[in-house]
Structure 1
Amino acid sequence: MKARWIITAVSAALFFGGSLLTSLRDPWFQNLQRPDWLTFEFLIPFIWIFVWACATISAIIVWERSSKRSRPWYLMGIYAAIALLTSIYSPIVVEFRSLIGGLIVGGLATVLVYILAFLVKPISQKASWLFLPYALWGPIGTYLTWLLIQLNPGVS
Protein backbone atom coordinates (compact mmCIF):
# COMPACT_ATOMS: atom_id res chain seq x y z
CA MET A 1 0.00 0.00 0.00
CA LYS A 2 1.35 3.41 -0.89
CA ALA A 3 2.41 5.69 1.94
CA ARG A 4 0.15 8.48 0.73
CA TRP A 5 -2.92 6.32 1.37
CA ILE A 6 -1.71 5.35 4.83
CA ILE A 7 -1.01 8.98 5.74
CA THR A 8 -4.41 10.02 4.39
CA ALA A 9 -6.19 7.22 6.27
CA VAL A 10 -4.48 8.05 9.58
CA SER A 11 -5.18 11.75 9.06
CA ALA A 12 -8.85 11.12 8.28
CA ALA A 13 -9.21 8.79 11.26
CA LEU A 14 -7.82 11.45 13.60
CA PHE A 15 -9.88 14.23 12.03
CA PHE A 16 -13.18 12.38 12.08
CA GLY A 17 -12.35 10.57 15.32
CA GLY A 18 -12.24 13.86 17.21
CA SER A 19 -15.54 14.85 15.65
CA LEU A 20 -17.15 11.52 16.45
CA LEU A 21 -16.07 11.65 20.09
CA THR A 22 -18.01 14.81 20.73
CA SER A 23 -20.07 17.49 19.11
CA LEU A 24 -19.67 21.22 19.29
CA ARG A 25 -23.46 21.30 18.96
CA ASP A 26 -23.59 20.31 22.61
CA PRO A 27 -26.09 22.58 24.45
CA TRP A 28 -23.46 23.62 27.01
CA PHE A 29 -21.08 24.74 24.27
CA GLN A 30 -23.82 26.38 22.20
CA ASN A 31 -24.97 28.43 25.21
CA LEU A 32 -21.55 29.97 25.78
CA GLN A 33 -21.40 33.73 25.23
CA ARG A 34 -19.57 34.54 22.00
CA PRO A 35 -17.96 37.74 20.71
CA ASP A 36 -20.24 39.87 18.54
CA TRP A 37 -17.87 39.67 15.57
CA LEU A 38 -18.15 35.86 15.36
CA THR A 39 -20.66 35.88 12.53
CA PHE A 40 -18.89 33.17 10.51
CA GLU A 41 -19.08 30.31 13.01
CA PHE A 42 -20.92 28.14 10.48
CA LEU A 43 -17.79 28.28 8.27
CA ILE A 44 -15.42 26.94 10.93
CA PRO A 45 -15.89 23.23 10.05
CA PHE A 46 -15.09 24.01 6.40
CA ILE A 47 -12.05 26.05 7.42
CA TRP A 48 -10.79 23.09 9.46
CA ILE A 49 -11.35 20.66 6.59
CA PHE A 50 -9.19 22.88 4.37
CA VAL A 51 -6.51 23.33 7.06
CA TRP A 52 -6.45 19.58 7.72
CA ALA A 53 -6.23 18.71 4.01
CA CYS A 54 -3.28 21.07 3.56
CA ALA A 55 -1.44 19.52 6.52
CA THR A 56 -2.12 16.01 5.20
CA ILE A 57 -0.79 16.91 1.74
CA SER A 58 2.26 18.44 3.41
CA ALA A 59 2.95 15.17 5.26
CA ILE A 60 2.62 13.18 2.04
CA ILE A 61 5.04 15.48 0.22
CA VAL A 62 7.61 15.29 3.03
CA TRP A 63 7.38 11.50 3.14
CA GLU A 64 7.66 11.08 -0.62
CA ARG A 65 10.51 13.58 -1.02
CA SER A 66 12.67 11.96 1.64
CA SER A 67 14.97 9.10 0.78
CA LYS A 68 14.13 5.55 1.78
CA ARG A 69 17.29 5.40 3.87
CA SER A 70 16.48 8.48 5.92
CA ARG A 71 12.71 8.49 6.39
CA PRO A 72 11.76 11.44 8.61
CA TRP A 73 9.96 9.46 11.31
CA TYR A 74 10.45 12.25 13.83
CA LEU A 75 8.73 14.68 11.45
CA MET A 76 5.85 12.24 10.99
CA GLY A 77 5.66 12.09 14.79
CA ILE A 78 5.25 15.87 14.92
CA TYR A 79 2.59 15.73 12.19
CA ALA A 80 0.80 13.09 14.27
CA ALA A 81 1.13 15.16 17.45
CA ILE A 82 -0.41 18.17 15.70
CA ALA A 83 -3.25 16.03 14.37
CA LEU A 84 -3.86 14.45 17.77
CA LEU A 85 -3.84 17.78 19.61
CA THR A 86 -6.17 19.28 17.03
CA SER A 87 -8.56 16.34 17.15
CA ILE A 88 -8.82 16.31 20.95
CA TYR A 89 -9.69 20.02 21.17
CA SER A 90 -13.46 19.44 20.91
CA PRO A 91 -13.60 16.49 23.32
CA ILE A 92 -11.58 18.44 25.89
CA VAL A 93 -13.73 21.55 25.56
CA VAL A 94 -17.12 19.82 25.44
CA GLU A 95 -16.75 16.58 27.40
CA PHE A 96 -14.52 18.01 30.12
CA ARG A 97 -16.10 21.48 29.90
CA SER A 98 -12.58 22.89 29.81
CA LEU A 99 -11.99 25.98 27.74
CA ILE A 100 -8.57 26.30 29.37
CA GLY A 101 -7.74 22.75 28.26
CA GLY A 102 -8.83 23.69 24.73
CA LEU A 103 -6.69 26.81 24.88
CA ILE A 104 -3.66 24.74 25.87
CA VAL A 105 -4.03 22.00 23.24
CA GLY A 106 -4.96 24.50 20.50
CA GLY A 107 -2.05 26.77 21.34
CA LEU A 108 0.39 23.88 21.57
CA ALA A 109 -0.72 22.50 18.19
CA THR A 110 -0.25 25.94 16.64
CA VAL A 111 3.27 26.27 18.07
CA LEU A 112 4.13 22.80 16.73
CA VAL A 113 2.88 23.87 13.29
CA TYR A 114 5.32 26.78 13.24
CA ILE A 115 8.17 24.49 14.29
CA LEU A 116 7.27 21.80 11.77
CA ALA A 117 6.91 24.32 8.92
CA PHE A 118 10.47 25.42 9.67
CA LEU A 119 11.77 21.83 9.89
CA VAL A 120 10.23 20.64 6.62
CA LYS A 121 11.33 23.64 4.56
CA PRO A 122 14.69 22.05 3.59
CA ILE A 123 12.81 18.97 2.34
CA SER A 124 10.09 20.86 0.48
CA GLN A 125 9.17 24.52 0.42
CA LYS A 126 5.73 23.54 -0.87
CA ALA A 127 5.18 21.28 2.16
CA SER A 128 6.22 24.16 4.39
CA TRP A 129 3.87 26.61 2.64
CA LEU A 130 0.99 24.16 3.07
CA PHE A 131 1.12 25.01 6.78
CA LEU A 132 0.14 28.60 6.04
CA PRO A 133 -3.62 27.98 6.53
CA TYR A 134 -2.98 26.39 9.95
CA ALA A 135 -0.43 29.08 10.83
CA LEU A 136 -3.08 31.73 10.12
CA TRP A 137 -6.13 29.94 11.54
CA GLY A 138 -4.46 28.43 14.63
CA PRO A 139 -3.90 31.78 16.37
CA ILE A 140 -7.45 32.89 15.49
CA GLY A 141 -8.91 29.71 16.99
CA THR A 142 -6.69 30.01 20.06
CA TYR A 143 -7.63 33.68 20.49
CA LEU A 144 -11.30 32.80 20.11
CA THR A 145 -10.98 30.16 22.83
CA TRP A 146 -9.29 32.74 25.07
CA LEU A 147 -12.16 35.16 24.36
CA LEU A 148 -14.69 32.46 25.30
CA ILE A 149 -12.90 32.16 28.64
CA GLN A 150 -13.13 35.94 29.12
CA LEU A 151 -16.79 36.13 28.10
CA ASN A 152 -17.85 33.17 30.24
CA PRO A 153 -16.23 33.63 33.66
CA GLY A 154 -16.56 30.65 35.92
CA VAL A 155 -16.99 28.25 33.00
CA SER A 156 -13.37 27.64 32.06
Structure 2
Amino acid sequence: MSAIVIAVLVLAAAASGAVFKPGPWYENLRRPDWTPPNWAFPVVWSILYIAIGVSGWLVWQAQGFGLAMGLWLLQLVFNAAWSWLFFGRRRMDLAFVDVCALLLSILAYIAVAAQVSQMAALLFVPYALWVATAATLNRSVWRLNPEAARG
Protein backbone atom coordinates (compact mmCIF):
# COMPACT_ATOMS: atom_id res chain seq x y z
CA MET A 1 0.00 0.00 0.00
CA SER A 2 1.49 3.28 -1.02
CA ALA A 3 1.37 6.58 0.79
CA ILE A 4 -1.06 7.73 -1.90
CA VAL A 5 -3.48 4.89 -1.11
CA ILE A 6 -3.29 5.69 2.61
CA ALA A 7 -3.90 9.38 1.91
CA VAL A 8 -6.89 8.57 -0.33
CA LEU A 9 -8.39 6.33 2.36
CA VAL A 10 -7.99 9.01 5.02
CA LEU A 11 -9.42 11.67 2.70
CA ALA A 12 -12.38 9.40 1.92
CA ALA A 13 -13.15 9.07 5.63
CA ALA A 14 -12.72 12.82 6.10
CA ALA A 15 -15.06 13.48 3.17
CA SER A 16 -17.95 12.06 5.18
CA GLY A 17 -17.67 15.04 7.50
CA ALA A 18 -17.62 17.40 4.52
CA VAL A 19 -20.68 15.79 2.92
CA PHE A 20 -22.75 15.36 6.08
CA LYS A 21 -22.46 18.73 7.82
CA PRO A 22 -24.18 19.93 11.00
CA GLY A 23 -26.50 22.46 9.40
CA PRO A 24 -29.69 23.98 10.83
CA TRP A 25 -30.89 20.72 12.41
CA TYR A 26 -27.81 20.53 14.62
CA GLU A 27 -27.76 24.26 15.30
CA ASN A 28 -31.28 24.01 16.76
CA LEU A 29 -30.41 21.17 19.14
CA ARG A 30 -29.72 21.74 22.81
CA ARG A 31 -26.06 21.14 23.57
CA PRO A 32 -24.06 21.06 26.79
CA ASP A 33 -22.24 24.22 27.85
CA TRP A 34 -18.87 22.53 27.34
CA THR A 35 -19.49 21.89 23.60
CA PRO A 36 -16.36 23.00 21.69
CA PRO A 37 -16.85 26.03 19.43
CA ASN A 38 -17.75 25.24 15.81
CA TRP A 39 -14.36 26.46 14.50
CA ALA A 40 -12.54 23.85 16.62
CA PHE A 41 -13.93 20.84 14.78
CA PRO A 42 -12.32 21.35 11.34
CA VAL A 43 -9.05 22.47 12.94
CA VAL A 44 -8.80 19.48 15.27
CA TRP A 45 -9.99 16.98 12.67
CA SER A 46 -7.48 18.24 10.09
CA ILE A 47 -4.63 17.63 12.53
CA LEU A 48 -6.04 14.25 13.55
CA TYR A 49 -6.46 13.08 9.96
CA ILE A 50 -2.82 13.88 9.27
CA ALA A 51 -1.82 11.87 12.36
CA ILE A 52 -4.11 9.00 11.29
CA GLY A 53 -2.45 8.91 7.87
CA VAL A 54 1.10 9.09 9.22
CA SER A 55 0.34 6.40 11.78
CA GLY A 56 -1.07 4.08 9.14
CA TRP A 57 1.93 4.70 6.92
CA LEU A 58 4.37 3.90 9.75
CA VAL A 59 2.62 0.62 10.50
CA TRP A 60 2.43 -0.26 6.81
CA GLN A 61 6.14 0.45 6.36
CA ALA A 62 7.07 -1.62 9.41
CA GLN A 63 4.78 -4.60 8.93
CA GLY A 64 2.59 -4.41 5.85
CA PHE A 65 -0.91 -5.77 6.17
CA GLY A 66 -1.54 -7.41 9.51
CA LEU A 67 -3.76 -6.99 12.53
CA ALA A 68 -2.66 -3.39 13.11
CA MET A 69 -3.51 -2.35 9.54
CA GLY A 70 -6.80 -4.22 9.77
CA LEU A 71 -7.68 -2.23 12.87
CA TRP A 72 -6.49 0.96 11.19
CA LEU A 73 -8.90 0.30 8.30
CA LEU A 74 -11.72 -0.64 10.68
CA GLN A 75 -11.45 2.62 12.61
CA LEU A 76 -11.63 4.52 9.31
CA VAL A 77 -14.93 2.80 8.51
CA PHE A 78 -16.40 3.72 11.90
CA ASN A 79 -14.98 7.23 11.53
CA ALA A 80 -16.64 7.75 8.13
CA ALA A 81 -19.95 6.30 9.31
CA TRP A 82 -20.42 8.68 12.23
CA SER A 83 -21.18 11.88 10.27
CA TRP A 84 -23.59 9.99 8.02
CA LEU A 85 -25.40 8.52 11.03
CA PHE A 86 -25.49 11.68 13.17
CA PHE A 87 -25.93 14.46 10.62
CA GLY A 88 -27.12 12.57 7.54
CA ARG A 89 -29.59 10.16 9.13
CA ARG A 90 -30.08 12.22 12.32
CA ARG A 91 -29.75 9.03 14.32
CA MET A 92 -27.98 10.11 17.48
CA ASP A 93 -28.58 6.65 18.95
CA LEU A 94 -26.87 4.77 16.12
CA ALA A 95 -24.16 7.43 15.94
CA PHE A 96 -23.44 6.84 19.63
CA VAL A 97 -23.05 3.10 19.04
CA ASP A 98 -20.77 3.89 16.12
CA VAL A 99 -18.59 6.36 18.06
CA CYS A 100 -18.20 3.83 20.88
CA ALA A 101 -17.12 1.21 18.33
CA LEU A 102 -14.76 3.80 16.86
CA LEU A 103 -13.19 4.45 20.26
CA LEU A 104 -12.77 0.73 20.92
CA SER A 105 -11.16 0.21 17.51
CA ILE A 106 -8.80 3.14 18.16
CA LEU A 107 -7.78 1.72 21.54
CA ALA A 108 -7.27 -1.73 20.01
CA TYR A 109 -5.18 -0.18 17.25
CA ILE A 110 -3.02 1.67 19.80
CA ALA A 111 -2.39 -1.58 21.70
CA VAL A 112 -1.52 -3.57 18.58
CA ALA A 113 0.35 -0.79 16.76
CA ALA A 114 2.56 -0.21 19.82
CA GLN A 115 4.12 -3.60 19.13
CA VAL A 116 4.95 -2.48 15.59
CA SER A 117 5.75 1.22 15.97
CA GLN A 118 5.64 3.25 19.17
CA MET A 119 5.28 6.45 17.17
CA ALA A 120 2.30 5.06 15.25
CA ALA A 121 0.60 4.21 18.53
CA LEU A 122 1.40 7.60 20.08
CA LEU A 123 -0.05 9.42 17.08
CA PHE A 124 -3.43 7.86 17.91
CA VAL A 125 -3.53 9.01 21.55
CA PRO A 126 -4.90 12.51 20.80
CA TYR A 127 -7.38 10.89 18.41
CA ALA A 128 -8.59 8.57 21.20
CA LEU A 129 -8.99 11.53 23.56
CA TRP A 130 -10.91 13.56 20.98
CA VAL A 131 -13.18 10.63 20.10
CA ALA A 132 -13.85 9.98 23.80
CA THR A 133 -14.91 13.62 24.04
CA ALA A 134 -17.02 13.25 20.88
CA ALA A 135 -18.72 10.16 22.32
CA THR A 136 -19.55 12.06 25.50
CA LEU A 137 -20.85 14.99 23.46
CA ASN A 138 -22.90 12.65 21.23
CA ARG A 139 -24.49 11.05 24.30
CA SER A 140 -25.14 14.43 25.95
CA VAL A 141 -26.82 15.89 22.86
CA TRP A 142 -28.89 12.73 22.48
CA ARG A 143 -30.05 12.95 26.11
CA LEU A 144 -30.81 16.68 25.82
CA ASN A 145 -32.85 16.16 22.65
CA PRO A 146 -34.81 12.91 22.97
CA GLU A 147 -37.48 14.18 20.55
CA ALA A 148 -34.86 14.65 17.82
CA ALA A 149 -32.98 11.40 18.43
CA ARG A 150 -34.57 9.49 15.57
CA GLY A 151 -34.63 12.18 12.90
Does the TM-score normalized on the shorter chain lie above 0.5?
A: yes
CA positional deviation for 1:96: 1.6
* Residues matched between the structures, number: 149
Measure the CA separation in 2 of the matches of 1:35 and 1:51: 23
Higher alpha-carbon deviation: 75-84 or 121-130: 75-84
Cα distance, 1:4 vs. partner? 1.3
1:78 aligns with 2:77: no
Match of 2:126 in 1: 133
1:15 corresponds in structure 2 to 14
Amino acid at match of 2:110: A
Mapping for residues 64-143 of structure 1, pairs under 5 Å: 64-66=61-63, 71-143=64-136
Choose from 28, 39, 61 the match for 1:42: 39
Aligned-pair CA distance for 1:38: 2.1
Q: More displaced, 124-133 or 35-44?
A: 35-44
2:147 partner SS: coil
Change (3 A) 1:37 1:8: same
Off by >6 Å, runs of 4+ in structure 1: none
Q: Distance in 1 between matches of 2:45 and 2:82?
A: 12
Out of 5-14 and 126-135, give the one that drifted further: 5-14
Aligned in 2, Cα 1:40/1:4: closer, same or farther, shift over 3 Å? same
Distance in 2 (CA, whole Å) between partners of 1:126 and 1:79 is 14
Which has the higher Rg, Structure 1 or Structure 2?
Answer: 1
TM-score, normalization by structure 2: 0.91
- Asked if residue 3 in structure 1 is aligned to residue 8 in structure 2, the reply is no
More displaced, 44-53 or 140-149? 44-53
Contact 2:86 2:92 in 1 (8 A): yes
- Distance, in Å, in 1 between the alignment partners of 2:82 and 2:95 is 5
Q: 1:7 to 1:39 in 2, by over 3 A?
A: closer
Matched, 1:54 2:51: yes
| Coordinate RMSD, CA, aligned | 1.5
TM-score, normalised via structure 1 length = 0.88
Q: How far off is 1:39 after superposition?
A: 4.7
Q: 2-side partners of 1:97 and 1:33: how far apart?
A: 14
Give the match's secondary structure for 2:148: coil
Residue type of the partner of 1:80?
A: L
